[in-house]
Structures are given as structure tokens and as C-alpha cells.
Amino acid sequence: MQICEVMDRDLTALSPDTTLSEAIEVLTRHRVSGIPVVDPSGRVLGFVSEKDIVKAALPGYFDYLQDPSFIPDYGQFQKRLKKIGQDPISKVMAKDVVSFSEEDSDFYVAITLIRNHLKRAPVVRDGILVGVVNRADLLERIMMEEEPPSFA
Amino acid sequence: MIVTVTLNPAIDEEYLVPEFRPGGWFRASKVQRTPGGKGINVSLVLKQLGLETAAMGFLAGFSGEYIRDVLRKAQITTNFLHVRGETRTNVYIVDEVGKVETGLAEPGPYISEDEIARFISNYERILKRTSLVVLGGSLPPGIPQDFYCELIRIARQRDIPTFIDAAGAPLLAALDEGPTYAKVDQRFMGSYEGVTLNSLDNLIEAVTRVHALGVEWVIASYRTYGNVFFTPEGIFLAEFDRKGIVSMFGSGESLVAGLILSGKEGMDTKERILFGMAAALENALHVEKGVRNRVAVEKLIPRISFEKLS
């Protein structure tokens, strides 16, 4: 099955100069974990996810902590998040984007998503955004499909 | 790609009631819940006829999620801006015996200036790969009355034709900007520039005036089952009889979709009008909004009467 049969043909995207606070608003309103970043013609430049934003707002020493429970509260996180709220998303977005074309097989997409620890990824035609593929939608589709014939 | 803009989408709830009258308490014999708003309806019909479109506009709350979900399952490309509040619900009650329809519409969620600006940037982005823009329906609170003007202007700067299907002040403002196609619904607009849209002569006068503003095609509803078409080839009247008609709900949008598809396929003016009217008739033959398929539409072409008025 080609991925164009499963993908969400939604073109919701942000421009690189969108602020982080606006990106957070769009993520929550659209109830998604990540959104493609595109240029004025719809060409995919990056992908911003809630994970990227969380990472940007965490204190620098976070990586050195063995356990996040060493952090007493999210005061510092909040302070940093508000501080970077007006920064453009181009600062935190993933620039090396894993994207798919409509003809890619569902199996190839599933494997690539798993390999790259991704939940969502853009689908492009000649570099232009035409949809988004979600891990959960793929799972649902695989679950609903008839089992392939066994050769055992 | 064809882009449809629905600034104020709705969930259309259609209740079939055997004998409806105000003040009573009734049980509906059938309820139908579908995503609505003129642009969305056009997208759904074009999909049924086999043409891809992208739908955009504003959605809000649970109703907005429902609409997005249905469009997504229909594999229609979407680019809606999700805003605060709740997308409206429009209620239609179809009296099965008296064949009378009663409608009730909500105003819709408030759209802020920021959200309008974001919409415009999405619109400009999608226009880069658009061949026709369909603008339809009412405006939600917060959107200026001349907003369609701006959308038509932006499309025209890029040589993209526009089709507007609206009513009242937003339509009047849009006409000044000279959209390529305009559909004027007599139900929602009693008069145009003082000309009452009732008799055929008055309708011809009104569509001629609209045409003078630079609108190539003007479509105005005439009586219940007819339309007057002002086209570059002349003025035509097309009608169908009421045999088998269940609900005209959504027929206007099926007409728009039929005209668009036939235009894209290069049919001549008469064929376009016949195909569009057949799509409207097919839509009216069942409670379900939209058309069954292209073959069903084509079968109805012989039922359309066609007359050249001038």
C-alpha cells in the first residue's frame, strides 16, 4: 500500500520566523505533536515538534542529570520557556527532516519512523508539502488490514 | 489544484420530520449530520465527481474536529486554521409532507486580527499551486465585510480565477472586485441595487449589472428549480421539474461543483450549464447532501430544460 492512502492531507505548516509561543499555540489548537516548517511556496525547510521546544527550554545542565527527579520544580523551565517564547522556530526546528513521497510503501515509512524515533513526518511532492504521516494512523491501518498470506 | 475557502464552516444537521410546525414537539424520522459551509460542500461534491481540491478556512472546537475528520477520511486536502470557540451548527428541518424546509443558523466563532493575518499567509502560500479559488458562504464575527474583496484581489494579482457563492453585504462588496464567477442566491438576497430579484426581466437586469462589474459568469436562482446564467456567450435559463425532488439542500453547491468540473474539462457553455444543473438535480433527489456519482449526474441531463434568453 502506498502512503498516500494513509496520510493526512493536511497542509498546516509554520514559517521559519513564527515565534515559539505561536508554534505552541498552533500545536495545542491542532492537537498534534509536530508541524512542518515551510517557505512561502510550501517547500519543507524543517519540522518543529513539542520535543524540540521542551529541549530548548530545559536548563543547560539537564543533560548531565542522571534522573530528571533531581529538578525540584519547573520554575526554571518556565522561566526559560517564556524567555525563548519570542524566538523564531528556525532556532529550534529539526533542519535535517525525514520526509516521504506519496508513492512510498507503508512498510518503508513504518520502518523509517521507528528507526528515527519519529511520531510524525511530512509527505512531499517535489519538495512541496502535500500531507503528514502519523505513526498512530499507520498502526491503525496495519491492524485493520487483512493478514498477508503465510508461506510456511 | 482547486482551493475552496469556507470562512464560517458548519455542521449541517438535517432533520426529517413527517409534519413539522412551530410550537410542537416532534420526533425526527431521520437525522443527517454532515460537514457544511458552501466551500466545504463544493469540495465534497467535487470529490464525489472525481476532482481533487483543498479546503481551507477556520475551524473551532469539537465541531471543527468533526469536520476535519470527515474531510480527512474523504481524503480531501485541508489547510484550516483552528481557532478558539466552537464551529457553528446549522439546523434544517425538512417537512416530509408539506415539502417545506426550515433553517436555523448560528453566527460562528470570533476570528481575531492575528488569526486573519495567519489565514492570509496560508492563503498566499496555497495560491502558488492553485488554478481556481471558490469562496463561499457567510463571514464569521471579526471578519470584515469586504474580506472576500481582499481574497479576490490577491488571487487576481496571480491571475487565478475566482468563484464566489455568497449573499448580502459580503457578496455585494466582492462583486465590486470583479470575481470571475458569481452565484447570487435569491433566497438570501431579495434585491440587488434596488432591483427586486423576482421576475425574469428584473433578474436579467440585475445579472447584466453584475456582469458590467467585470464578472464573466453570473448565476442567479430563478423560481425554485431554475437558474439564469449570464455568460460570455449570452444569457440562458435552465430549469428542471419537481418530479422526485426530496430536498434542495446542498443543490446550489452541486451546481457550482458541476460548473467547475465541466469548465475544467473544456465543455462548451451549454454543456456546462446542463451538467451543472444535472448535478443540482441529482443532489435534490435524495436526503443525502451531494451527488452519488458522475454517471448518476449525466443520466439526468435530459431532464434539464435550456433556453437562450438573449
Contacts of A10 in chain B (CB under 8 A): 68, 72, 77-79
**Residues B39, B59: contact at Cβ < 8 Å?**
no
Report the CATH number of the A3-144 domain.
3.10.580.10
Helix axes B251-264, B38-48, angle to 10 degrees: 50
Domain limits, chain A: 3-144
Name the one residue in this structure whose C-alpha cell is 468563484.
B163
CATH number at residue B263: 3.40.1190.20
Non-local (6+) Cβ contacts of B28 within 8 A are B15, B16, B17
Closest partner residue to A9 among B77, B122, B126, by Cβ? B77
Does residue B20 lie within any of the structural domains? Answer: no
How high is the mean pLDDT of chain A? 88
pLDDT at B199: 82
CB contact (8 A) between residue B75 and residue A9: yes
Give the whole-number percent of chain B exceeding pLDDT 90. Answer: 74
Under DSSP, the state recorded for B298 is H
DSSP at A130: E
Cα of A26 to nearest chain B Cα, Å: 8
Contacts of A114 (CB under 8 A, 6+ apart): none
- Write the pLDDT tens digit of every residue in B264-281: 999 999 999 999 999 999
**Beta-strand relationship, B162-166 and B181-184:** parallel
Distance to chain B for A60, nearest Cα, Å: 33
> B241 to chain A, minimum CA–CA distance in Å?
39
Question: Worst-scoring range by mean pLDDT, A15-29, B198-212, B277-291?
Answer: B198-212
CA B211 to chain CA centroid, nearest Å? 19
The answer to whether residue B132 is domain-embedded is yes
* Rg value, chain A, Cα: 18
Buried b (16+ CB within 10 A) or exposed e, B226-263: bbbbbbeeebbbbbbeeeebebbbbbbbbbbbbbbbbb
B21 inside domain: no
Q: Is B310 on the interface with A (CB under 8 A)?
A: no
A59-101 tens-digit pLDDT: 666 666 667 666 667 777 888 888 888 999 999 999 999 999 9
User: How distant is the Cα of A45 from the closest Cα of chain B, in angstroms?
Assistant: 14
Split at pLDDT 50, 70, 90, the class of B162 is very high
For residue B68, the chain A residue with the least C-alpha distance is A10
Interface of A with B in 70-129 (CB under 8 A): 128
Count of domains forming chain B: 1
Strand partners, B217: B181
- Residue that is written with C-alpha cell 437525522 in the block: B31
To the nearest whole number, what is the mean pLDDT of chain B?
Answer: 92
Cross-chain Cβ contact B82/A29 below 8 Å: yes
Q: Is A87 helix (H, G, I), strand (E, B) or coil?
A: coil
Contact, B129 vs B158, CB < 8 A?
no
B72 touches chain A (CB under 8 A): yes
What grid cell was written down for A146? 487483512
Range of the domain at B158: 2-8+36-86+108-308
